[in-house]
Amino acid sequence: MRIRALNALLTWGLLTSASAFATTYDLSANGDTVVQEYVQPEAAVHAEQDETLLDVALRYRMGQMEIVRLNQKVDRWHVKKGELVRLANRRILPDTPHEGITLNLSEYRMYYYPPGGRQVMSFAHGIGRQDWKTPLGKTKIIKKVKDPSWHPPESIRREHAAMGDPLPEVVPPGPHNPLGAYALYLNLPGDYRIHGTDIDKIYGIGMQITHGCVRMYPEDIEALYRHAEVGTPVYIVKQPIKVGWLDNTLYIEAHPDLEGEEMSQDQRYAFALDLIRKATQEEMPDFDQKALNQALHVLDGEPTPIYERLPSLEQEQPAAMPREAGGAGSGSGSGSPGGYYHGS
C-alpha cells in the first residue's frame, strides 16, 4: 500500500499540469497495443476542493462512467478536498485497423489515428441509450458542419412533448443546441453524427444517454473537427474485453455490459480466454488466473497484466553483446514474435 501511495503521489506531480484536452499517445514501433500517458502505472490526483467525480472527469476529459468505474469506493457526488482520485493512464487499443476513427461503445471512448501511423488520439464520448442504440459497423464521415442547426425528428419531439418539454421544429446554433458547435455526419441511415454537446448536458459525456449519436466534450469535438477530413473511415465496435501487449507483458482490460445487455461470468471468462489464446498463440497459456478473475470481476477498465513472455533473441541481443563487438547484431529491438492483438 505504501508503494502504491508513493506512486500515486509521484504521478500527481505530473498530473497537476496535465492538459485539459484529448490525450495523444505515440504508437509503438514493435506493434505493442497498450498505450500509456504517464510514467507511473497508476495515475491519480488529489481533489482540489470538495467536488464531484464528474468535476474531476470534466477537468481531465474523462467520461462519467469511466471515472466512476475507476473509483468504485469514492462517492460520485461528494469527493472531499484532498481525497485521492484515480485517473485513466494505460489503455488497450481496440481490435480495429489503426486508421481513421474507432468508437468502442463498451468503454465510451473514441480513438482517432491521424495520417502517418505514428500516433493515436483518445476522446471520451456518450452513446445511444438502450432504446436508441448507436449502430455498429464500418462507415465514414460524409459531411462536416460548424454551428449546426438541429432539426429534431418527430419521434424525439413526441418523446419530449410527453415529458412536458416540447421542442421546436428547428433548434438554432447556440449554447443550448444539443449538437454543440461542431458536427461530423456519418454515412448511416438515420442522420447519425459525431457532435459536441450543449452546456446543459456536458456531464453526460461518457454515458449511455443519447438518441444514437456520439456526443463529445466541446474542446474535443473541435479538435476532431480540425483533424478528421470528409471521407475518414469510422469503425463502430463493441469490445467490452480487450487484450494487448506492452514490453512482452500481456494485459487485459474489461468493462461492464452496456444497459440492456448481459454477459454471464462464464461467458466473459470464455471470451477472455479466447483472446488470450489468440494473443499468445498458445492452446493453454500459463497466465495469472487470479489477476484475470479479478479483472473480470471488478470491471474497472484498468489494463491488468496477466501473462509475460520471453523477449525475442533480437530484443535480448543488444544488451548481451559486448561493446567491442561493433555494430553487428545491434538491432532496434523491434523483432518481437507475432501474436499481437490488434486489427492493423
Same domain, 38 and 133: no
Summarised one tens digit per residue, pLDDT across range 237-281 is: 999 999 999 999 999 999 998 887 888 999 999 999 999 999 999
Quick one: DSSP state of residue 135?
Answer: P
* Residue entry with cell 478473475: 293
Which residue has 497537476 as its cell numbers?
A: 16
Is there a domain that residue 330 lies in? no
Identify the pLDDT of residue 155. Answer: 62
Q: Are residues 9 and 103 in the same domain?
A: no
Report yes or no on whether pTM surpasses 0.95.
no
- Could you tell me if residue 69 is inside a domain? yes
The reply to whether 210 falls in a domain is: yes
Whether 16 is in a domain gets the answer yes
**Last-in-domain residue among 239, 273, 289:** 239
More confident residue, 102 or 174: 102
Whether 100 and 143 share a structural domain: yes
As a whole number of angstroms, the distance between CA 234 and CA 214 comes to 12
State yes or no: pLDDT of 77 exceeds 70. Answer: yes
Are 28 and 41 part of one and the same domain?
yes
The range of the structural domain enclosing residue 102 comes to 93-239
| pLDDT surpasses 70 at 85 | yes
Same-domain pairing of 4 and 34: yes
- In this predicted structure, the answer to whether residue 340 has a pLDDT above a threshold of 70 is no
According to the model, what pLDDT value does residue 176 have? 81
Is 333 contained in some domain?
A: no
Rounded Cα distance between 295 and 317, Å, is 34
Residues 293, 307: Cα–Cα separation, whole Å = 13
Q: Are residue 69 and residue 114 in the same domain, yes or no?
A: no
The sign of the CA dihedral 295, 257, 276, 99 is negative
| CA 228, chain centre distance (Å) | 18
Of 92, 122, 144, the residue at which a domain comes to its end is: 92
Q: Is residue 234 located within the same domain as residue 246?
A: no
- Each residue's pLDDT tens digit, 25-62: 999 989 999 999 887 777 899 998 999 999 999 898 89
Q: Are residues 231 and 114 in the same domain?
A: yes
Q: End of a domain among 92, 107, 122?
A: 92
pLDDT at position 276: 97
Which residues are tagged catalytic? Answer: 195, 213
Ranges 50-54, 95-99, 309-313: which has the least confidence: 309-313
**Is the CB of residue 102 less than 8 Å from the CB of residue 115?**
no
Q: What percent of the chain has pLDDT over 90?
A: 53
Phi, psi of 260 (to 5 degrees): 85, 0
**Looking at the structure, do residues 101 and 218 belong to the same domain, yes or no?**
yes
Q: Please state, in angstroms and as integers, the Cα–Cα distance from residue 163 to each residue in 25, 159, 178, 202, 327, following that order.
A: 43, 7, 17, 21, 73
Q: Which three cell numbers stand for residue 47?
A: 481533489
Tell me: do 150 and 217 sit in the same domain.
Answer: yes
* Residues 268 and 203 occupy one common structural domain: no
- CA 136 to CA 142: how far, in whole Å? 17
Are 105 and 238 in contact by the 8 Å Cβ rule? The answer is: yes
DSSP 111: E
| 167, part of any domain | yes
d(CA 13, CA 39): 11
Instruction: Output the 3-class SS for 271-320.
Output: HHHHHHHHHHCCCCCCCCHHHHHHHHHHCCCCCEEEEECCCCHHHHHHHH
Torsion of CA 97, 193, 302, 100, to 10 degrees: 20
Q: Assess if residue 338 is contained within a domain.
A: no
pLDDT for the residue 334:
30
Total structural domains in the chain? Answer: 3
Do 17 and 149 lie in one domain? The reply is no
Residue 147 lies in a domain: yes
CATH number at residue 221: 2.40.440.10
